[in-house]
Every structure is written in C-alpha cells, then in structure tokens.
A and B are shown apart, each in its own frame.
Chain A
Amino acid sequence: MNTIDYTQVEEAARELYIRALKLLPDDIKEGFQQLQGMETSERARGILGTMVTNIRVAEENQNLLCQDTGIPIYNVFIGRNVAVDGWRLKQAIAKGCERATREHPLRSSVVHPISRKNNHTSCGPGVPVIHVDFVEDPDTLEIEMIPKGSGSENNSFLRMAIPAEGLAAVKRFVIDCVINAGGRTCPPTIVGVGVGGTSDLCVHLAKKAATRPLGSACEDPLGAELERELSQAVNKLGVGPQGLGGDATSFAVHVELAATHITMNPVAVNMQCHSARRARASLGNGGIEYGF
C-alpha cells in the first residue's frame, strides 16, 4: 500500500486553487475555437474575441481569469492501493485552500450563510466542499479542484417531475432553464443536467455534468444521446454570449444520470460559465503532477 504525505496534499490543495483560477484547460480553449467558427452574429463574435483575449492576458500577466474565486470544491479520487487517513486528508485540503487565499492573496468569496461574516480564508462550515470517491487506479491519489463561480451557480434548478410527464419534461425543463438564466450565467456555458436519482443526487449529478471536460460523453448510451440532442437545441435559442444574442449560448449540454424510483422523474440543471475552470493534481511516486 502507498501512504500519503499530507504536507504534499496541503501543498497541492493550495497550488490547485491558484492554478485553476489562472489557467483554463485546453478543452475549453478548443471549445472557444469551435464556437468562434460557428458564430454568425458580429456582436457575439466580438464578445467571444474579448473572452479569448482575456485568457491570453491572464496567462501573460499570471493573473486570475475572473475575479470570482468561487466556492472551492475539491474532488478526491483514491486509488485501490493507496492508504489514506481521511480525516487528515480533509484537514490538509482545507489548510491548503486557506493558505492559497491568504498567501496569493485571493478574494475570499465565502461567508457564513446567516451572519454573512467573511473569515477571509475561503473556508467556513462545510466549505471547501470535499467529495471523496474510490477508483480502480492502484497507485495514486488524484485531486481535482473546481472554483465554482456564483453567476452560474445562482442558476441551479431542480424539478421533481413525474413519470407521466416523460422525457419531454426533462428536455423542456433544460431549455426553459437556459432561457430564464439568459446572460446571468456568463454564457457560453456548459449546461450540466442531472437525470434520475434522489433529489440531492440529481443536483450533484448536474454539478458533475457541468464540470466535466468538453469532448467527454455520458457513459450511459441513452444519456449520451440526450446530451447530443440538447447540445444542438440550446444553440438554436439565440441567447448568445453574455445573453446579448447570437448562436454561441453553450459549449455543450452534459448529462449524468442515476437510476431512480418508479414514481419519480427528477431533473436538475447546474451551469458552468465560460470561465470553466478546473485543475487536477496526481500524488504518488513521491511527487505532485499537475494538469487539468
């Protein structure tokens, strides 16, 4: 069994937050190229051009892509041959997140939900959000970091549809969520759709879908078919970049699904803005490897 160096976990958690805020993954950059190629509105092309310029300026100046440092989310994937003290792991991630905020410095966008007090650490009750999953990969501990911006997160929706409404209810809900969100989500977006499960699982699936790399597909063939259909449909609505009209409303619609109850037909939508930031670190073999 491989053991974990928790100083490295803390270092990775710190570095991942900063990297995610500054470097956009290649799949998102390619997504911009595709949208620029298909966009027919002159104003929309201008807006997409400004977004692409911003990616370059952020890299040149080593600055943050967006001022919204988001709610920090860490997704941890533990391989089979990795021995982990889960409690220490969570402590190390929170410490790294706090250090990134203080040492860079970053704007802490996190407040207590009732007092609205900001500790200027990007941490608080239940935050950073840490999800742990177990995977087959035997040697490494993988940490994915997602700073989830609020413009897109404020447009998150759940509907507990019923079986009699069928798949049409799911499709209609997604289309209406995209229409109602308009420019508030900072389009072009990745529209994440959760289908099935319980209410909480459904919302979680929507988030997972919204933060999946572009070019990836739902593992379930029916889910993959649904996301292909919806991806085409949303870009016929005319919302456009920043909600100011055009073809490029979304990079893609992603679907994640889970089995559900015979009486239920839940659908959730969570969106990711055009600054679709994420970073990944692989810990093992004595070092930290960074990527997306």
Chain B
Amino acid sequence: MAHYDLTMPITEEQVRALRVGDTVTLQQTLYGIRDATYIAMFDHQRKTRFDLNGHAVIHTAPNVRKVPVSEEYPAGYQSVCIGTTTSSRMERFTRQLIEQYGVRIIIGKGGMHEGSKQAFKDLGGVYLGIVGGTAALETTWIEQIEDVDLDDLNPESLWKFRIRDFGPLLVAMDSHGNSLYDEVNSEVQSRRDAVLASLGAN
C-alpha cells in the first residue's frame, strides 16, 4: 500500500501505477462535475472549453456565494461548502468521459460499477473514494474556484478548483480490474444467510 502525491494533470503511466488500497493526495487542479453536467455533455453533446486531459474530476455541486470578479475570485464565485455526492448515478458516463476527454481520475463516494471498472482497465483510469458527508473538511482543501463552464446548469456547472493537499483519498477501483466495492460486496453476500438465520428469516 503506497501513498502518492500527484500534481495534476497526470499521464496514463502514472494512473496505471495506482493499485486498490493505495492512497493519493492531489495538488493543483480539480474539476467538479455531476448529473446535469454529464447529461449536458454526453446526451446533449454540449462541449466544454476546459481541457480535461489527464485531469481528475470530483462528483460535486458546491455551495457558493456570487461575488464580483477579482484576483481572489476570478470566476466570480466564493466557495462556501464543497463536498462529494454519490457516484453510482453517473455510472453510464464513465467510458465517454475518459474516451472523449482523457480524464484519468474520478473522485466520488459509494463506488461505481462494472462498466466503469472495465473502462478504467481498457483506457487507464482510477476511482478514488473520498469520505462522503465530510464537506466541511474537503472545503479546507480547496483554495479557489478558478473558473466555471456550462454555468447555466448552476449549481451543476463544470467547476475548476485550485486545490492544495486534497486528500488522502483511497484508490477504491484501479486500472487492473480491481474494486474494493466488489470485494466488500462478495463478503457481505457470504454473510447474508447467516444473518437472516439469526433473525429466523431465512
């Protein structure tokens, strides 16, 4: 189990070095994306002006305060609270995100499924698990909202964050076909019958 400090963006080789159980801390840049952003980009073919190649995205829609554009707030937004949403809903977009935009890292909570696991393996990507529901802490890892695109979708815009020491995050799905969620799930399934028997409900 190794720890990696990655300054974004990264290469395919760097992402393929990561194995489930490793931990990662990210530096520099992180993009925020979620349901409506994905739907706009892949179901309605809307393009972003951001270059996501080699970058990490986090499943989020932040709480922000609208402020005048300044050096401190170049996008006209001050961060209030930024945290992570459940990734499972975005499952069907993973392959397109990597194939069309070159994204290497997806950060979320709760895990993703078979299609994502296969896409990570085929194209070179990982899923990093963050502790969901700990947004107050995560907010302290984000220095600035640098930019925003597709902002008519607000709060589900495509956000560009400047980050510092973002993590540690857990490599929960890697590019070698491994998923911690699969491991836990098969363990849980193996315990199900005994638990039901203890309740007289088998």
Contact = CB atoms under 8 A, between A and B. Distances in A.
Interface in B102-122: 109-111
Contacts of B200: 168, 171
Contacts of B2: none
Give chain B's interface residue range (CB within 8 Å of chain A): 35 or more
B131 A51 contact: yes
B140 A61 contact: yes
A179 B192 CA distance: 8
Interface in B62-78: 62-66
B181 interface: yes
A243 interface: yes
Contacts, number: 174
Interface in A150-189: 150-151, 154, 167-169, 171-172, 175-176, 179, 182-186
Interface in A96-139: 104-109, 116, 118
B48 interface: no
B5 to A, nearest CB: 18
Most buried by B among A50, A63, A65, A105: A63
B13 to A, nearest CB: 27
B196 A50 contact: no
B191 interface: yes
A47 B132 CA distance: 9
B155 interface: yes
A175 B189 CA distance: 11
A242 B36 CA distance: 24
Interface stretch (A204-212, A231-239, A258-266, A284-292): A231-239
Interface of A: 43, 47, 50-51, 53-54, 57-58, 61, 63-69, 104-109, 116, 118, 149-151, 154, 167-169, 171-172, 175-176, 179, 182-186, 229-230, 233, 236-245, 273-275
